[in-house]
Structure 1
């Protein structure tokens, strides 16, 4: 038993708006998990244009887990967008080199770390993820949300700035998900258990703990 070809760019027959990102992204500072896809009617292969201010000399990474669904125009603001707001000027002199390199020491407004998206995360249309954010497994980011704080696993957030709207499941069910981590199973096992994973039957989900 198997799913779509993990090496394909366009895994759905006759659909060219949805691509598996791992087979498209070339920037070594962007890490994509298996089966994560980007859906964009205008430019599905242009995902990297949505990773903004991602400069090599800063060295931050965008890490996205497995089985994530990312909608059109979802944007990831990286650490290169930060200017030093404690200095007398926010102008980034050091970035221009030459005799302006004296400004390099005080260039940044603070490194906020890598941006990390968990597994099985759904990021809605035109959502924006700010630098250094961690989004937990199973979370949902609503359309047009501006995410400025870390997002707990299996939560739904929305708004500007994004706030917790609710959790997807009760605490017991969330704990089961954290235990089984189905995205780490081999694809044959995932395929076999799709009827359970796509249902909302907690009793059946509990049975997966010991498989």
Structure 2
């Protein structure tokens, strides 16, 4: 790669490694390089990255208003990718692995870094998702919009929108909001063309959430509304509820 095509932050990382050694470079990477949104494949606005982080930014896309808490690990090889969409947060100590290996005759696990017969995926964390602390998302564990992953869960399959999941392996244990609450919630966060409609939600609830309890609430005090409005204004989060 020509020097002129290398980002300045990458040059600094190479310099630290060359002058101070691999240990210093690893510390610099987890506390500085990995917390710079300019190093990611794509990054929106108002992103919070809490150091240290153990990941490869060039294989990660971050939407606007996303947050990654400390000690998160994202382990992705060259043909794998993680997309975290807007409004979502990844809890401290969580691990995301968008691929895996196919056992292959003559290849010991020690040489898995050769990426022969890797199974490559793009793991997507949808909009407005909360991934609880110390959770693990495995290769097919994409998370639907608005879902909640309980702390310490292991997700190995796709999770539908607004599900609340927990356990090892993760199972649906509740639904975040009722249909009416989802419609109200989405009317605030998303422009009309991005929202789920009632027909889709009714079908989703019939197939996935029959007889499950709802965890969310619509109750919020006037003082809390004022605080929320101020915070949304500070981050320039548009409210679409009047459209």
TM norm structure 2: 0.53
Equivalence for 1:30: 60
Residues 105-120 of structure 1 mapped to structure 2, 5 A cutoff: 107-108=117-118, 110-111=119-120, 113-120=121-128
Aligned length, in residue pairs: 159
Gaps of 5+ in 2: 1-34, 36-46, 193-224, 233-238
**Partner Cα distance (1:168, 1:160) in 2:** 20
Mapped contact 1:83–1:90 kept (Cα < 8 A) = no
**Partner Cα distance (2:166, 2:181) in 1:** 22
**Partner Cα distance (1:173, 1:114) in 2:** 30
User: Does residue 21 in structure 1 map to residue 41 in structure 2?
Assistant: no
Equivalence for 1:164: 172
Instruction: Report the CA distance between 1:82 and its aligned residue.
Output: 2.0
Instruction: Report the CA distance between 1:74 and its aligned residue.
Output: 0.7
2:77 counterpart (55, 61, 79): 55
User: Does residue 76 in structure 1 map to residue 96 in structure 2?
Assistant: yes
**Partner Cα distance (1:151, 1:71) in 2:** 17
Equivalence for 2:14: none
Gaps of 5+ in 1: 1-8, 10-18, 98-102, 185-190, 199-206
Instruction: Report the CA distance between 1:35 and its aligned residue.
Output: 1.9
Secondary structure of 2:182's aligned partner: helix
Mapped contact 1:119–1:183 kept (Cα < 8 A) = no
Instruction: Report the CA distance between 1:36 and its aligned residue.
Output: 1.1
User: Does residue 91 in structure 1 map to residue 76 in structure 2?
Assistant: no
RMSD of the alignment, in Å? 4.0
Write the deviation string for residues 11-59 of structure 1: whole angstroms up to 9, x where unpaired: xxxxxxxx7139x88722101112211233xx5xxx4xx012x122xx1
**Partner Cα distance (2:179, 2:147) in 1:** 14
**Partner Cα distance (1:28, 1:168) in 2:** 32
TM norm structure 1: 0.60
Residues 197-208 of structure 1 mapped to structure 2, 5 A cutoff: none
**Partner Cα distance (1:74, 1:93) in 2:** 24
Q: Higher helix fraction: Structure 1 or Structure 2?
A: 2
Mapped contact 2:191–2:240 kept (Cα < 8 A) = no
Instruction: Report the CA distance between 1:69 and its aligned residue.
Output: 2.0
Aligned CA distance change for structure 1 residues 92 and 153 (closer, same or farther; 3 Å): same
Aligned CA distance change for structure 1 residues 151 and 168 (closer, same or farther; 3 Å): same
Mapped contact 1:116–1:132 kept (Cα < 8 A) = no
Equivalence for 1:67: 87
